[in-house]
Amino acid sequence: MLTDRRPILLANARVIDPSRDFDGPGDVLIADGVIRDAKRGIGAAGVPEGTDIVNCAGKIVAPGLIDMRAFVGEPGASHRETFASASHAAGGGITTIICQPDTSPVIDNSATVDFVLRRARDTAIVNIHPMAALTKGMQGQEMTEIGLLKAAGAVAFTDGDRSVTNAQVMRRALTYARDFDALIVHHTEDPHLVGEGVMNEGEFATRLGLAGIPTAAESIMLERDMRLAGLTGGRYHAASLTSTESLEILKRARDAGHNVSASVSINHVTLNENDIGPYRTFLKLAPPLRTEEDRRALVAALASGLIDVVMSDHNPQDVEVKRLPFAEAASGAVGLQTMLPAALRLIHNGEMDFKTLIRAMSTRPAELLGLPGGTLRAGAPADVIVIDADTPWVLDRDDLKSLCKNTPFDDARFSGRVTRTIVGGRTVYEHV
User: Is there a contact between 75 and 105 (Cβ–Cβ < 8 Å)?
Assistant: yes
Render pLDDT for 299-343 as a digit per residue (tens, 0 to 9): 999 999 999 999 999 999 999 999 999 999 999 999 999 999 999
Residue 383 annotated in active site: no
User: Is there a contact between 404 and 81 (Cβ–Cβ < 8 Å)?
Assistant: yes
Closest to 297 in 3D by CA, of 251, 328, 252, 340: 251
Q: Report the amino acid identity of residue 317.
A: Q
Q: Report the amino acid identity of residue 186.
A: H
The terminus-to-terminus CA distance of the chain in angstroms comes to 15
pLDDT value, residue 91: 84
Render pLDDT for 354-388 as a digit per residue (tens, 0 to 9): 999 999 999 999 999 999 999 999 999 999 999 99
Extents of the domains making up the chain: 8-61+381-392+411-430, 64-369
pLDDT value, residue 45: 75
Indicate the pairing of strand 309-311 with strand 260-265.
Answer: parallel
pLDDT value, residue 310: 98
Task: Tell me the C-alpha distance between 128 and 369, whole Å.
Answer: 13
Q: What is the CATH number of domain 64-369?
A: 3.20.20.140
pLDDT value, residue 3: 54
pLDDT value, residue 233: 97
Closest to 349 in 3D by CA, of 290, 299, 276: 299
Q: Which of 17, 313, 353, 388 is catalytic?
A: 313
Render pLDDT for 41-86 as a digit per residue (tens, 0 to 9): 887 777 888 899 999 999 999 999 999 999 999 999 999 999 999 9
Angle separating helix axes 244-255 and 292-304, nearest 10 degrees: 30
pLDDT value, residue 1: 44
Render pLDDT for 210-260 as a digit per residue (tens, 0 to 9): 999 999 999 999 999 999 999 999 999 999 999 999 999 999 999 999 999
Over residues 87-96, the mean pLDDT reads: 94
Render pLDDT for 160-181 as a digit per residue (tens, 0 to 9): 999 999 999 999 999 999 999 9
Q: Is the pLDDT of residue 277 over 80?
A: yes
Task: Tell me the C-alpha distance between 375 and 255, whole Å.
Answer: 28
User: Is there a contact between 64 and 96 (Cβ–Cβ < 8 Å)?
Assistant: yes
Percent pLDDT > 90 in the chain is 95
Q: What is the CATH number of domain 8-61+381-392+411-430?
A: 2.30.40.10
pLDDT value, residue 4: 65
> DSSP secondary-structure letter at 105?
S
Task: Tell me the C-alpha distance between 199 and 191, whole Å.
Answer: 14
pLDDT value, residue 103: 97
> DSSP secondary-structure letter at 255?
H
